[in-house]
Amino acid sequence: MGAEEKSHAPTLVNNGVDDEERGHASVTLGAVCYRPVDMKPSTRSDVAPFYVMEVMRAAEAREAAGHEVLHLEVGQPSTSAPIGALDAVAAAMRNDKLGYTGAAGTPELRQAIAGWYRTRYGLSVPVERIVVTTGASGSCVLGFLALFDAGDRVAVLEPGYPCYRNDLTALGIDVVTVPVGHESGFRPTVDQLEELGPVDGLIVASPSNPTGTVLPADMLSAIVTWADAGDVRLVVDEIYHGVTYGAATPTALAFSDRVTVINSFSKYFSMTGWRLGWVVAPAPIAAAVERLAQSLTIAAPTVSQVAGLAAFDCVEELEANVARYRLNRQVVLDGLGRAGLARMAPADGAFYAWVDVSEIGIDSQSLCARWLDELGVATTPGIDFDRTNGHRFVRFSYAGDPAELGEAMRRIEAWMDARR
């Protein structure tokens, strides 16, 4: 290879010099040799890893070794996108070139989201306030960028969804923790918020991951009033709306025009892998989100927008999914009760039970490892969601199959009996 060619191939390092001479370990890919590079990532990227990934890896390894695993660790529906969405995609793949859309999403999808607020909540939301994103994860990054500056102080709940903290940290925002626990039903109180001192923002989720707890209308309205009064930018994550078991889930948009709401097609609509979500924000923030999206993603995937639009017409199928979660929830709550593990957050919505396992006397990371090893039951240790008290909690996901959940509960019950 000539010198000129070499300059266009910077990763090719085996240009005549022996690896041993260089003193580096190397990886050989076919005829090309790559040397591991010693380069420190940015400080801002030093966010906490997800321990649930370790559980999933261990569960996969167990399955690969031919052992059965009952999955209660996975935080996603076990169903596909609804049939109507799949049909719409099949047609679009034949008839549509599926190029980029505008950064805020297709006009049809934005209209349909506005229609969802009209029919579900009786609210009129101007389309200009709606931006389609790459899942609620995309909504968080774009929303936080549009709402906050580096150095701002933003509060999150603990336990809570860990990405809020990680995203904010990566953006140079100071994260303030609001601990919630049994005493307040895992919901923040306005008194607690008052004690935070000056904050620029607050992120809450209702229903919450990992607790499943819903903020009832009076509490949500009190939080919105507190935020508006103090000029605190409130973000409410409503990704689990629709996945509830009797508790009403008003949207925070009903209480103020200053709130930013994030939502997604991942949970109720059963479309995690399609990476589609949305933000509803005050008009200037929505415009900033759109502007940022132009540069950061260009737009959400077009094929997913086609699917999302059709999914709004699949409510019957989606409600059947929720009916199954309701049965699953009963199986898990009954099983945990029989196992003596009934100290948990109010499981009002989502598909999680957040259970205090401290009486067992084993750190939840070790406990989850033992349940996987001894029972073939995969669950999630609480540490991802609560860095302070997570070692006392396990999250059980009941998004899966009822028979599998029943068997998992029987095994845990027998394990607990054997310890008594």
Ligand X SMILES: Cc1ncc(COP(=O)(O)O)c(C=O)c1O
User: Which C-beta is closer to ligand X: that of 101 or that of 166?
Assistant: 166
Nearest to 143 by CA among 39, 336, 277: 277
Alpha-helical (H) ranges within 346-401 are: 364-370
In the complex, the smallest distance separating the C-beta of residue 273 from ligand X, rounded to whole angstroms, is 9
Contact flag: residue 238 with ligand X (CB under 6 A) = no
User: Which C-beta is closer to ligand X: that of 233 or that of 411?
Assistant: 233
State how far the Cα of 160 lies from the Cα of 395, in Å rounded to an integer. Answer: 12
Contact flag: residue 272 with ligand X (CB under 6 A) = yes
**Residue 354 near residue 212, CB atoms below 8 Å:** yes
Q: Which of the 8 DSSP states describes residue 81?
A: S
Between helix 83-95 and helix 302-311 the angle, nearest 10°, is 140
Q: Are strands 174-179 and 201-205 parallel, antiparallel or unpaired?
A: unpaired
Contact flag: residue 381 with ligand X (CB under 6 A) = no
In the complex, the smallest distance separating the C-beta of residue 417 from ligand X, rounded to whole angstroms, is 33
Contact flag: residue 242 with ligand X (CB under 6 A) = no
Distances (CA, A) of 52 to 72, 269, 362, 399: 11, 23, 18, 16
Contact flag: residue 255 with ligand X (CB under 6 A) = no
**Residue 135 near residue 275, CB atoms below 8 Å:** yes
State how far the Cα of 240 lies from the Cα of 277, in Å rounded to an integer. Answer: 12
Among 74, 146, 180, 239, binds ligand X (CB under 6 A): 239
Q: Look up tokens 């989606």; give the residue.
A: 318
Contact flag: residue 184 with ligand X (CB under 6 A) = no
Contact flag: residue 78 with ligand X (CB under 6 A) = no
User: Which C-beta is closer to ligand X: that of 205 or that of 336?
Assistant: 205
Contact flag: residue 237 with ligand X (CB under 6 A) = yes
Among 51, 117, 148, 161, binds ligand X (CB under 6 A): 161
User: Which C-beta is closer to ligand X: that of 237 or that of 386?
Assistant: 237
State how far the Cα of 236 lies from the Cα of 207, in Å rounded to an integer. Answer: 10
Contact flag: residue 328 with ligand X (CB under 6 A) = no
In the complex, the smallest distance separating the C-beta of residue 272 from ligand X, rounded to whole angstroms, is 5
State how far the Cα of 221 lies from the Cα of 232, in Å rounded to an integer. Answer: 14
Q: Which residues contact 420 (CB under 8 A, 6 or more apart)?
A: none
Among 205, 223, 289, 299, binds ligand X (CB under 6 A): 205
In the complex, the smallest distance separating the C-beta of residue 237 from ligand X, rounded to whole angstroms, is 5
User: Which C-beta is closer to ligand X: that of 275 or that of 411?
Assistant: 275
User: Which C-beta is closer to ligand X: that of 139 or that of 364?
Assistant: 139
When CB distances to ligand X are compared, the closest residue is: 135
Letters for 25-64 (x = contact with ligand X by CB under 6 A, - = none) are ----------------------------------------
Q: Which residues contact 351 (CB under 8 A, 6 or more apart)?
A: 75, 77, 212, 243, 325, 328, 329, 397, 398, 399
Contact flag: residue 266 with ligand X (CB under 6 A) = yes
Letters for 118-137 (x = contact with ligand X by CB under 6 A, - = none) are -----------------xxx
In the complex, the smallest distance separating the C-beta of residue 73 from ligand X, rounded to whole angstroms, is 12
Nearest to 74 by CA among 321, 342, 269, 352: 352
Q: Look up tokens 């918020």; give the residue.
A: 193
User: Which C-beta is closer to ligand X: that of 136 or that of 311?
Assistant: 136
Contact flag: residue 209 with ligand X (CB under 6 A) = yes
Q: Which stretches of the chain bind ligand X, using CB under 6 A?
A: 75, 135-137, 161, 205, 209, 237, 239, 264, 266, 272, 277
